[in-house]
């Protein structure tokens, strides 16, 4: 699954390249057919989106009353989507919970910015796009009565992506053709594994590839020129670290090992966004959970007492607060858990995961324009991947009212770290100066407009954007992040094997730990029989 619009296109190009190899047909011919199929599909969606949006039908019971007791049954640390989802599900079943959050706000990396940009448009400082396959978070939004905007209903005639390298636009057919040797090498490398996946307890023979950096792998394949730079920027922005700090499995496991031309777009479509801002979901959960949320409470220590209870110590202002419970959910990034005194018996692999799991340095810069020049004058949806200083952009103002527009500049690796320097206005100037080469007229549309920045690598309550496996980590710690230790449970995007790095991963992991605890308490619902 891709995290960014342009990376989804990169996935699609690789699938097209492999389809061309399998069929023996020219890449340009297959790329043209794929474009026509997508235009047809999106036109059909314009006609059927209202029906499709009603299809989830997921509803849940309202929250049950819990008899007040001195100490809750479950302490949850972290009021992001993972911790709040877990608390919501537990409280629905009558389990008493208490949620502690170090910040003075809830939502974690779901953080929407309102009442700032022109025409009342909303920007996302954190997670932004939701896939069709993200059923946990889509189902939760439906249950809470929060509508999602279907971005597929945006103008299907707009140019989907711009690849700008060597001071020119690279066509999709060129990308596909150049990608063919990469596709063939991926096929061979995946075929060498027992299974096309790897974890610490089931490495499937992937250790050598895991310990090979993505940079080394590209050099072995002989990728050079603009394609090498395109892949470099694509993976740096997608995973958040430079390619010499990533495992080559980050590339190999992203691609379906057995694609065919009819599944050319893969599973990631980035089709939805919460109408009015993604953090409506965590705020709705918090409303259901009040007053069981303590803000400004930073976890300092966790220990297991002789009576089997967990004891958690929190710093709240100038005081310390101690709370006890038989179950604890740690729903905070491992970058922060490393700072906590854990007086616990943890397995070596769990300790290593907490101490060493990689995190990206992605940052976001949102730039306001008085006119959506990329659309009105250039017929583009604003998605650009380039070797120019800004790396990657997409339009955040899609399906939002008004003539003004917002482009999000999303960066990773060294450039993600650099985006935190200077002022947001200075950084916006650098980006717009480069964008002017691709979309002439954008600089003039900046007059009097605002910009906003969020620098996740230095944000003290995350110290990184999202998890990213370093060389060797798939087979040394992969899968250990979410494993429970007795009645100590772990949640967050970093603990999800299916959606690591996504809002879906946080939500899905919250559902998982709630099920774990409900099973322990004998409150789990029986699973429905599947025909």
Summarize pLDDT for 273-321 with one digit per residue, the tens: 999 999 999 999 999 999 999 999 999 999 999 999 999 999 999 999 9
Classify residue 305 as exposed, middle or buried by CB count within 10 Å of its CB (0-12, 13-18, 19+): exposed
Candidates 250, 224, 256; CA nearest to 237 is 250
- DSSP 3-state assignment of 448? coil
Q: Given this model, what pLDDT does residue 26 score?
A: 61
Measured distance CA(380)–CA(372) in Å, rounded: 10
Q: What is the CA 318 to chain-centroid distance, rounded? A: 35
Q: Given this model, what pLDDT does residue 114 score?
A: 98
Measured distance CA(91)–CA(204) in Å, rounded: 40
Q: What is the CA 290 to chain-centroid distance, rounded? A: 27
Decide if 42 contacts 431 (C-beta within 8 A).
no
Measured distance CA(479)–CA(213) in Å, rounded: 20
Q: Given this model, what pLDDT does residue 197 score?
A: 92
Omega cis (within 30) before 170: no
- Token look-up 């990213």 returns 468
Beta bridge partners of 392: 385
Q: Given this model, what pLDDT does residue 531 score?
A: 37
Q: Given this model, what pLDDT does residue 94 score?
A: 97
Contacts for 238 with CB less than 8 Å, ≥ 6 apart = 2, 3, 4, 7, 10, 412
Q: List strand residue ranges (DSSP E) for 27-177, in order.
A: 74-77, 97-100, 112-113, 123-124, 148-150, 162-165, 168-170
Q: Given this model, what pLDDT does residue 288 score?
A: 97
Q: What is the dihedral of CA 490, 235, 282, 464, to 10 degrees?
A: 60
Q: Given this model, what pLDDT does residue 488 score?
A: 99
Q: Given this model, what pLDDT does residue 71 score?
A: 81
Candidates 235, 191, 243; CA nearest to 18 is 191
Mean per-residue pLDDT of the chain: 89
195: left (phi over 0), alpha (psi -120 to 50) or beta: beta
| Reduced 3-state DSSP string for 381-447 | CCCEEECCCCCEEEECCCCCCCCCEEEEEEECHHHHHHCCCCCHHHHHHHHHHHHCCCCCCCCHHHC
Instruction: Name the stretches of the chain with pLDDT < 50.
Output: 38-69, 256-266, 528-531
């Amino acid at each position: 699954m891709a995290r960014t619009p342009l990376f989804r296109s990169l996935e699609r190009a690789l699938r097209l390249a492999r389809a061309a190899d399998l069929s023996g047909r020219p890449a340009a011919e297959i790329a043209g057919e794929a474009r026509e199929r997508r235009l047809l599909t999106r036109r059909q969606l314009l006609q059927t989106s209202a029906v499709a949006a009603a299809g989830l039908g997921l509803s849940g019971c309202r929250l049950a009353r819990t008899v007040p007791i001195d100490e809750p049954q479950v302490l949850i640390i972290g009021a992001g989507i993972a911790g709040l989802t877990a608390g919501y599900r537990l409280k629905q079943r009558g389990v008493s919970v208490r949620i502690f959050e170090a910040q003075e706000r809830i939502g974690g990396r779901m953080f929407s910015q309102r009442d700032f940009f022109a025409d009342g448009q909303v920007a996302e400082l954190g997670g932004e796009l939701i896939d069709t396959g993200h059923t946990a978070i889509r189902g939760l939004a439906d249950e809470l009565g929060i509508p999602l905007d279907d971005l597929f209903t945006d103008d299907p005639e707009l140019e989907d992506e711009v690849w700008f390298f060597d001071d020119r636009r690279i066509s999709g057919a060129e990308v596909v053709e150049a990608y063919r040797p990469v596709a063939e090498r991926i096929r061979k490398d995946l075929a060498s594994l027992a299974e096309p996946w790897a974890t610490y307890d089931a490495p499937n023979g992937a250790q050598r590839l895991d310990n090979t950096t993505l940079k080394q792998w590209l050099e072995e394949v002989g990728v050079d020129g603009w394609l090498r730079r395109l892949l470099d920027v694509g993976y740096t922005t997608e995973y958040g670290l430079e390619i010499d700090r990533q495992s080559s499995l980050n590339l190999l496991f992203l691609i379906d090992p057995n694609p065919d031309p009819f599944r050319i777009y893969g599973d990631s479509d980035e089709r939805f966004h919460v109408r009015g801002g993604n953090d409506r979901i965590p705020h709705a959960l918090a409303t259901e959970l009040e007053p069981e949320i303590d803000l400004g409470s930073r976890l300092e220590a966790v220990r297991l007492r002789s009576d089997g209870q967990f004891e958690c110590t929190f710093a709240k202002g100038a005081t310390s607060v101690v709370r006890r419970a038989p179950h604890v959910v740690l729903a905070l990034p491992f970058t922060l858990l490393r700072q906590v005194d854990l007086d616990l018996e943890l397995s070596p692999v769990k300790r290593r995961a907490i101490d060493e799991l990689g995190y990206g340095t992605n940052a976001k810069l949102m730039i306001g324009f008085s006119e959506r020049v990329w659309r009105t004058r250039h017929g583009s949806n604003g998605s650009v991947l380039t070797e120019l200083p800004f790396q990657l952009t997409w339009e955040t103002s899609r399906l939002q009212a008004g003539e003004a527009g917002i482009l999000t500049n999303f960066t990773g690796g060294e450039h993600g770290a650099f985006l935190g320097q200077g002022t947001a206005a200075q950084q916006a100037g650098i980006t717009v100066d480069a964008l002017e080469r691709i979309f002439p007229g954008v600089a003039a549309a900046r007059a009097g407009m605002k910009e906003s920045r969020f620098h996740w690598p230095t944000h003290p309550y995350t110290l990184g954007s999202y998890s990213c496996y370093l060389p060797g980590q798939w087979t040394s710690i992969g899968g250990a992040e979410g494993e429970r230790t007795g009645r100590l449970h772990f949640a967050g995007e970093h603990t999800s094997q299916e959606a690591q790095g996504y809002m879906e991963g946080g939500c899905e992991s919250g559902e998982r730990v709630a099920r774990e605890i409900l099973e322990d308490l004998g409150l789990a619902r029986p699973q429905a029989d599947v025909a």
